[in-house]
Structure 1
Amino acid sequence: MSVFRSARLEALLGATVDQATYHQVIGLVTNRVSEDVDLEFKGDYKNTDSGRAEFAADVAQFANATSGLLIIGMDEDKAMAQAAGPSGISVVDTEITRYINVIADRISPPLPFTIRPVENPDQPGTGFILIAVSRGPVGPHAVRVNDSLRYPRRVGRRKVLLHENEVALAYRDRFTGLQSRLDAAEAHERYLVDQLSTDRMYVVVTLVPDLDGYRDINTDEFSAFRQAVLDTSPWLLEADNPDWYTASVGPDRLVASGLPRPDAAHLITEPGCVLHRSGAGSFVAYVGERPDSQAAHVIEFFVVAGVLAGLRFLAEQAVQHASASGSASLRATLVPADETKATFLTQRLRWSPHAGERPVHRPPVATALADLHRLAVDGRELTRATYALASRLVQHFGIPETRYLTVDGAVRIGAWADGSTKERARRWADTNEVKIDESHPSAL
């Protein structure tokens, strides 16, 4: 699915960008369609350093403006800025991969785009390459040229470079947008927290895509969601944790929960999730006990396992079912916590606190950013994001970082309890191409 919809472009093509045929793209020539603020033609790009820089700038200009479509393989009548005819470029997989790699290597931060070959049925292997680029929610997007950064923007039919003051304003808008997404994450989190019991400790993980998707909330979608969720487990490392048991709906939301408690059937139990139609969502996992007469305890291992499972589950739901894209704003918190009871961080199955630890008396909060698509499919992106959130949570207790992962996304295997848990962690790391760090965390 294309990352953006444009009624104007769809009218010109006679189809959506992700469904347009070769003959429909050729129709741009017949109809003498001109380049515009949202459309650019390019015969080809040289596979040289300057060619790669030019291509990256042509992509980034749309992300720094109002979105657009780049059609590679279409020669241009430069006098009229009109589509002139096919240039006959190769559209084989290696060419598509080359363009994807240039975007990844040259443009920062990552921008939302889709790339699609449109093959000439009469000359297989040749045709057009359509690259749809959405306005980036975390702009401005820089293009690396040698040792410098440039910020291109589409203005009318031209590509211009942003001046210093324009770059500064774009960064201000980025941080304003980030704060609004973090505010949205807190609102989604609150909807779930309000439905949890207060006699246990939970980690609540929330994900808000920078580019909202859309998911229908109707009978068919709910039926498919219930069937899919109840047949799967969200856990990546904990084999003996409870799985989904029930599914329901809320306003603009799908809800899943564990086995209901006899004394509080209306509450969400772990694992629990609330998935908004936009692709945003929250996930809850048990992390410790909160008895009436004693201090509350949070088990660090459960925090890491819960964040890891929650991020992967929420990212998959956002990408696969809501077609959300771009980066993701992440938030994690430990609840409940208040002034009436101290909450300590402990090691798994050992109720003595960390050395040098201090208790907390209000819910600790951690935030981070990650690439949404990679969070759903890439083990290293997942462990890096989990490390960031888990470490920022344990820092509230006076601990520098989590014991179980490293800042570069490796599994610090020496921290894991011997036995089946350690073996599951090792197997999961191997399967997901995550590096294993053999160092011992005794210094933490």
Structure 2
Amino acid sequence: MPTLRNCRLEQLLGGPIDESLTYKQVTGLIPGTAEGPDLDFKRDTYGSRDKDRKALCGDVGGLANANGGLLILGMAEDSQGRATKDEGVDISDAERLRLHQTVVANVQPTPTFDIIPVEDPDRPGTGFLIIWVARTATAPHAYIQNNSLLYPRRIGTQTVWLSEALVAEAYRARFVGLTNRIEEAARLEADFASRHAADELLVVVTLVPDVPGGFTVDTAALRAFELSNASHTAGAFGNPVRRFTRSTVRHRRLVGVGTFKPSTPYSRGACELHENGGGTFSTAVGSTVSGNEDPSARLVDTQWLTLGVGAGLQFLAHHARDRAAAGGLATVRATIWPISNRPIALVSNVGWPNEQIGSDTIIEQPYADTVADIDDLCAGDRGLVATTHRLTSELFQAFGAPEVAQVTAEGAIRIRHWHRSSQAAITRWAEESGVQVLTETLG
């Protein structure tokens, strides 16, 4: 389940904003903690009348249209908006479901939010309901009232309704932001790819969070990165893909490389992980199988391409969420590099060696991009498989093949399109991850 990442609120509460929150942590806001742009106290829960529904949706939408934050239900406040007493509210599943459904049914697009119950140990069934709301890149969020759209925003300690001019400005910011993230992903990709050896075929995966996070590249961060690389191999669907044997830094980023040689182009694969949660990842995808080989073309193996995209997505998502505290959606991009005058063909080695997939060879760089949920990618289950299908299929289409065969758009595995040596590990992983395994073949 996703969590709200907000350093100020985490410091106030003394820990992360998730199901681990305790009653003592929340009552620690008493006395004197004041409301702010990201914190609102409510003595009571929201009722079922129209005005109560509007108040709930306005408060949630207002935070989503600003910088996110918390609504704490069950906390009394004084005239200055400071926490004074733990009054408590009903924290039953039914109450949480009612509030959740009210927001989902009446705020569009649906903001990223959740409701966490924190029980009073002396009053079972009573306590605080913590509604956390993330800042999103899909703002503005509108409350739907009688077929009209009303746009709230939290300004200071109040929720206000935006004028037409401010709504137009908010929509313009959304579309400019999406364009900027696509352009940023392409810029990071090109900069990263330029440092690779030119004689290796690689898939390059890039992730740019819609809402940036942040961490500091320093000695401690590099040491933790080195330890992680020493004990972890980036992989996908139960198969190892890339280990980074050398760890270093560049400007505001951590760098992992697949070879030990310093001051040389990146080889076999690499990663660059930026302070804002963005990052790039590469791994080799060239076919190393002999037989049926066209000497005039360079060959990309379909299985290694699929695994490389999946591994890159999950590796970069974990960096964004776990190291840089970014959350929500991200723009993701994939390409094959390098492209030269020598054509590139897409091949499968599941049946015949280097059997061509698709009708075309390419001499122009292919690319694919989409939007994915960072937490879904970190979970490494159907969401990761489905996103891998979207990106990899777009790369396949450059070769005249309509879609990747190894995975499906619904997030399932087509096991017969994987090498026999990989099938057992993939099947085990799928069973553990709740991913469906299909025995049918594509087409």
Q: TM-score, normalised by structure 1?
A: 0.81
**CA gap 1:258/1:163 in 2 versus in 1, 3 angstroms:** same
CA shift, 1:3, in A, is: 2.7
Question: Could you tell me how far apart the structure 2 residues matched to 1:17 and 1:265 are?
Answer: 40
Helix, strand or coil: the match of 1:256? strand
* Mapping 1:34-433, distance limit 5 Å: 38-45=38-45, 55-75=56-76, 85-90=85-90, 109=109, 111=111, 120=120, 123=123, 126-142=126-142, 151-154=151-154, 159=159, 167=167, 169-237=169-237, 239=239, 241=241, 243-260=243-260, 266-288=264-286, 294-338=296-340, 340-348=341-349, 350-355=353-358, 357-417=359-419, 419-433=420-434
**CA gap 1:164/1:298 in 2 versus in 1, 3 angstroms:** farther
CA shift, 1:361, in A, is: 1.5
Helix, strand or coil: the match of 1:207? strand
CA shift, 1:141, in A, is: 2.8
**CA gap 1:363/1:237 in 2 versus in 1, 3 angstroms:** same
CA shift, 1:63, in A, is: 1.0
Question: Could you tell me how far apart the structure 1 residues matched to 2:37 and 2:158 are?
Answer: 8
Question: Could you tell me how far apart the structure 2 residues matched to 1:10 and 1:434 are?
Answer: 34
**CA gap 1:52/1:429 in 2 versus in 1, 3 angstroms:** farther
Helix, strand or coil: the match of 2:406? coil
CA shift, 1:85, in A, is: 4.2
CA shift, 1:365, in A, is: 1.0
> In the alignment, residue 178 of structure 1 is paired with which amino acid?
L
**CA gap 1:236/1:345 in 2 versus in 1, 3 angstroms:** same
Contact 2:31 2:84 in 1 (8 A): no
**CA gap 1:306/1:126 in 2 versus in 1, 3 angstroms:** same
Question: Could you tell me how far apart the structure 1 residues matched to 2:200 and 2:369 are?
Answer: 23
Question: Could you tell me how far apart the structure 2 residues matched to 1:312 and 1:82 are?
Answer: 42
CA shift, 1:267, in A, is: 2.4
Unaligned runs of 5+ in 2: none
CA shift, 1:306, in A, is: 0.5
Question: Could you tell me how far apart the structure 1 residues matched to 2:80 and 2:135 are?
Answer: 27
Worse-matched range after superposition: 316-325 or 87-96 = 87-96
CA shift, 1:4, in A, is: 3.2
**CA gap 1:127/1:242 in 2 versus in 1, 3 angstroms:** closer
CA shift, 1:106, in A, is: 6.6
CA shift, 1:277, in A, is: 1.6
Helix, strand or coil: the match of 2:198? coil
Helix, strand or coil: the match of 1:272? strand
Helix, strand or coil: the match of 2:316? helix
Question: Could you tell me how far apart the structure 2 residues matched to 1:200 and 1:17 are?
Answer: 43
Question: Could you tell me how far apart the structure 1 residues matched to 2:221 and 2:398 are?
Answer: 40
Worse-matched range after superposition: 213-222 or 44-53 = 44-53
Helix, strand or coil: the match of 1:217? coil
CA shift, 1:69, in A, is: 3.1
Q: Deviations over 1:235-281 (max 9, x none)?
A: 224757553322222221111122347xx972222342111122111
> In the alignment, residue 436 of structure 2 is paired with which amino acid?
K
Contact 1:3 1:114 in 2 (8 A): no
CA shift, 1:140, in A, is: 2.1
CA shift, 1:358, in A, is: 1.8
**CA gap 1:279/1:88 in 2 versus in 1, 3 angstroms:** same
> In the alignment, residue 430 of structure 1 is paired with which amino acid?
E
Worse-matched range after superposition: 386-395 or 54-63 = 54-63
Question: Could you tell me how far apart the structure 2 residues matched to 1:230 and 1:299 are?
Answer: 27
Question: Could you tell me how far apart the structure 2 residues matched to 1:117 and 1:426 are?
Answer: 37
Contact 2:241 2:311 in 1 (8 A): no
Question: Could you tell me how far apart the structure 1 residues matched to 2:246 and 2:363 are?
Answer: 32
Contact 1:196 1:267 in 2 (8 A): yes
Question: Could you tell me how far apart the structure 1 residues matched to 2:322 and 2:386 are?
Answer: 21
**CA gap 1:377/1:56 in 2 versus in 1, 3 angstroms:** farther
CA shift, 1:128, in A, is: 2.9
Question: Could you tell me how far apart the structure 2 residues matched to 1:48 and 1:420 are?
Answer: 58
Matched, 1:27 2:27: no
CA shift, 1:43, in A, is: 3.2
Q: Percent identity?
A: 34
CA shift, 1:40, in A, is: 3.1
**CA gap 1:99/1:383 in 2 versus in 1, 3 angstroms:** farther
Helix, strand or coil: the match of 1:235? strand
Helix, strand or coil: the match of 2:332? strand
> In the alignment, residue 343 of structure 2 is paired with which amino acid?
A
**CA gap 1:229/1:60 in 2 versus in 1, 3 angstroms:** same
Q: TM-score, normalised by structure 2?
A: 0.81
CA shift, 1:413, in A, is: 2.5
What RMSD over aligned residues (CA atoms) do the two structures have, in Å?
3.9
CA shift, 1:369, in A, is: 0.5
CA shift, 1:204, in A, is: 0.4
Helix, strand or coil: the match of 1:317? helix
Question: Could you tell me how far apart the structure 1 residues matched to 2:126 and 2:426 are?
Answer: 46
> Would you say how many aligned residue pairs link Structure 1 and Structure 2?
429
Helix, strand or coil: the match of 2:214? coil
**CA gap 1:137/1:47 in 2 versus in 1, 3 angstroms:** same
Question: Could you tell me how far apart the structure 2 residues matched to 1:164 and 1:435 are?
Answer: 47
Contact 1:364 1:396 in 2 (8 A): yes
CA shift, 1:382, in A, is: 0.6
Helix, strand or coil: the match of 2:31? helix
CA shift, 1:5, in A, is: 4.8
Unaligned runs of 5+ in 1: none
